[in-house]
Structure 1
Amino acid sequence: MHFSPVILTGQRQSLVVNQQLQQAITFLQMSNAELQAFIESHADENPFVSLKLRHTGDAPRLPSGSGGTAQDWDRISALPDPGAASLYAHMAQQIAALGMGTQDMALAEVFLESLAPSGWLEAPLDDIALRSGASMDKVETMLNRLQKLDPAGVFARDLAECLRLQAAEQGLLTPLFAKVLDNLQMVGNADLQGLCRICGVEMPHLRAALRDLRGLDPKPGARFEQAPMPIRAPDLLVSQLPQGGWRLELNNSTMPAVMVRDNESRSMRSGADYHAERLSVARWLSRAVQYRNQTVLKIGEEILRSQRAFFKAGPEHLRPMIMKDIADAVGIHESTVSRVSNAVTIATPYGVMPLKRFFSAALPAQEGNSGSAEAVRNRIRKLIQSETPTRPHSDEGLVQLLDKEGVSVARRTVAKYREQLGIATSAVRRRQAMLSSQL
C-alpha cells in the first residue's frame, strides 16, 4: 500500500468567544451598581478610563401610588443612617464587630443580602455558596455563626429553626418542647390529641408548652420593618405621560458611563505599546457599556409595551409573556433577554422588581386562557388574605369567586397555585384560627 501526503483546503465558520466577548456578556448580567463597581476597578489601573455618573436635574415623576418620585433615587446617598432602627443596619453592625477576614466578610455580606424583612434567610445555602464562591462547609459554618447574633432566630431557614433558636436562647428547649417543634405540622393542624400521644404527655403539660411556643416570635425581624431599609436604586424608571401612556428611561442617577481620556495619550511618551493597549481597552469598554445600556433600554421598552395593563391596573393584569416574545420583538437572542432580566430592576407603581417578574406562562387553553399564571396567583393571594379566618375559602370556593370575575380556572389549578404561594388548605387554615382562639 502506498501513502502520499495530500493538501486539502476548505472553509468553516466558528464562533470564538474571546475574553472581550465574555466580558460583554457579563455586562448584561450586571445591575447599574455592579457595573459601576467594575468600571471603578478598571479606572484604578487604566489611566485612560474614568467613571462618570450622569445625574439629571429633573428626574421623571413616577405614577401616582408609587410612594415617591424618581428624583428620590438621586438622593439615596443623602438618606440618614437608620442605625439600630433598621434590621439591615442592626445586623451589619454586629457582623462588622465580629472582626472577620476579607473572604469571610464577603460571604457574610451575601448572607446579609439574602436576609428577608422577617429575619429569615430567603436564599438556600447552595445558592449562597454559588454566589459567594465559598464551599458548603464554609457556608454552613458562617450560618451557625450568624444565627448566634441578636435578635434570636435571625437567619433561620424555616419556622421550626427560627423557634428552636429562640427557645434555646431563652432556656425553653426541653425534650417536650423539642418534640413539639419537630411536629409543628400537627400544631398547625390543631391535632392536640395526636401531639399528646407523640410527646407522651397529658394535655395540661402540652398546653403549657404551647403557651411558651406562642410567646416566641416567628418573625424576629418584623420589629424593624417600620425603619427605613437599605434601598437598591432601580436600573429603569417608568413615568406616566401627561397625555396618557408611559415612558421608560434609564436611571441616570446610577447609570455609569465610561469616559475615555484620549488626551492623556499625547502626554505619555514612554511605554508606547502599553499605553496603546490600555487606550484600546478603554475605548472597547466605553463601547461595551454603551451597548449594554442600549440593550437594557430596548428590552425594558418592549416589556413596557407588552405589559401596559400591569402598569395601569396592577399585578392581577399581568399578561402571559415569555422571553422569546421579547427576544423576537427586539431582534436579539433569548439568552440575552434572560441575562438582562435576572439582573436589572425597574421602578413600577407597585414597587421595584426585577424584569424577570414580568415573564409568566399562559393558562392552559382548555381553561379559557384567561390570563397569566402570575396574575391568577396574585388574585388568589388577595382573596385568601381578605377571607374570614374562621370561614376560609375552599379551593372550589376560590374557583367560583374567580369565575365571577371572568377568570376561568380548574380547581386543581387553584390548588397548585395556592401550594406555590405556601398557603395551607382551607381546613388547615380553619383549624389554625380555632387553635389561636383557644390558647
Structure 2
Amino acid sequence: MMTWYKEADRKTRRVFWTCSAGWALDSADSVVYSFLTPLLMAGLGMTLTQASSIASANFFSAAVGGWLGGWLCDRFGRARILQLTIAWFSFFSFASGFAHSYEQMLIIRVLQGIGFGAEWAVGAVLLGEMINPKHRGKALGTVQSGAAIGSGLAALLAGPFAAMFDPDLGWRIVFWIGIAPALLIFFVRRESDDSDLFKQAQQRNRELGRKTSLADVFKPNILRITIFAGLLSLGVQGAAYSISNFLTPFLHNERGLPIATAGFCILFNSAGGFFGFLTNAYASDNLGRRMVFRLFSVGFIIAASVYLFAPLGSSVPVLMAVGFVYGFFQFGSYASFGPYFTELFPTELRGTGQAFAYNFGRGGSAIFFTGVAMVAATGVTLSTAMATFAISAACCAILSTFFLPETAGRALIGIDDLTLHDGAEGVPPQV
C-alpha cells in the first residue's frame, strides 16, 4: 500500500508530511467553529442564524481567497504561497479567540477564510506535480485523510477539552491553539520545493511573454471543466456541511446527549472518515475518479439517512457505530478531489483552476447549510432540514461526474497540450 511512498525522494516525502499536517490543522480550524456553536451562541449572545451567517461568510471569503491563492501560486510559485496561506489562516484562527461580539467574530472569520481557502489547493498542486501518475490518487488521498484527523482533533477540543474550563474561556483557548500550524512554514522551502514541471511551465511562459489571469479558467477551451468541477465540489461539500455544521446541536437537542458526549460521538465519525479517505485514495487509482465519487455519494445518502432518522435514541455506543459508517462516506468522498482536479487542469492554470473549483464548492456550500438553519427556524426538525439539503447536494455531485472526463493514471498536461473536444470523454492525449 505504501509503494508510492517508498518510491518518492526525500523532498517529496517532506512535502507530503508538511501538506498532510497543514491540511489536518487547517481542517481542524474549519470545523471547530461549527462544533463550538453552542458555546459561541451563549458566550457572544448570538442566535443560531447569526452563528450560521458567520460560517457562511467564512466560506464565501474562503472561496475568494482560495481562487486568489491558486492564481498567486501559478504566478509566483507553489511553495512560497503555501507558506503565506499557512501563516495567514493561523494568525486569524488565533485572533478568533479575542472576539467579544458577533460583529468582531464575523470580521475575523472572514479574514481567516481568505487564508484557509487557499491552503488546500496550493498544497495539493505542489504535491500532485511531484507524484507518479499511477500513484497520484493514493498520495493525495492520503494527504486528504488529514481532514478526518483534524475533525477528530476539533471534536476533542470543542467537546471535552473546552468543557474543562469556564464556558466563556474554553472556546477562546480552543481558538488560541489555532496558531500552531504557523510552525509548518519552516518546513517549506520556497523555490527549491516547486516541481520541475512547474518550473518548465514558468520558463515557457517567460519565453512566450505569456501571463495567466484569474479569468483564464473561463476561456472556451477550459470552461466546461471549470463548470462541472465546481459543481462536483459544490455537491460533495454542500452535502457534508449540511450535516457536519449542525452535528453538535442535532446530537444535543434531538438525541439528548450532553455537549461533551456529543463531541466523543463526532470523534467516531472522524475515525470512520480516516478509513474512508484511505479506501477512496486506493480505489480511485483502480476504479477511476468518477466512479468513486458516485459510489461514495450513494453511500453517503444511505448512511446519512440512517444516522439522522433511524430509531437510535440516545444510545452512545450505537450512535458511535453508526456515526463511524456515516463518517466513512462523508469524509471519504473528499479523497479524490486532489488527484482529480490536479489532472483536469493544465500546469499553467492548475493552481487557479483547482482552487476555483474546490473553493466554489466550499463557498457555495454556505447556501446549503444556511438553508438548513433557515428551514429549521420555521419549525421543521433540524434532522429533516439537514437531510433535505444534504441529499440534494449529493445528487448534484453524482450528476456532475457524467459531464467530466476520466483522468486516472494520466500524465499531467500543459496549456499547449490542451485540446478539449465535445463530450464527457473529450480529454487531451496523455503526454
* TM-score class normalised by the smaller sequence: under 0.3
More strand by share: 1
TM-score by length of 2: 0.26
Give TM-score scaled by structure 1 length. Answer: 0.26
In terms of fraction of residues, the more helix-rich structure is: 2
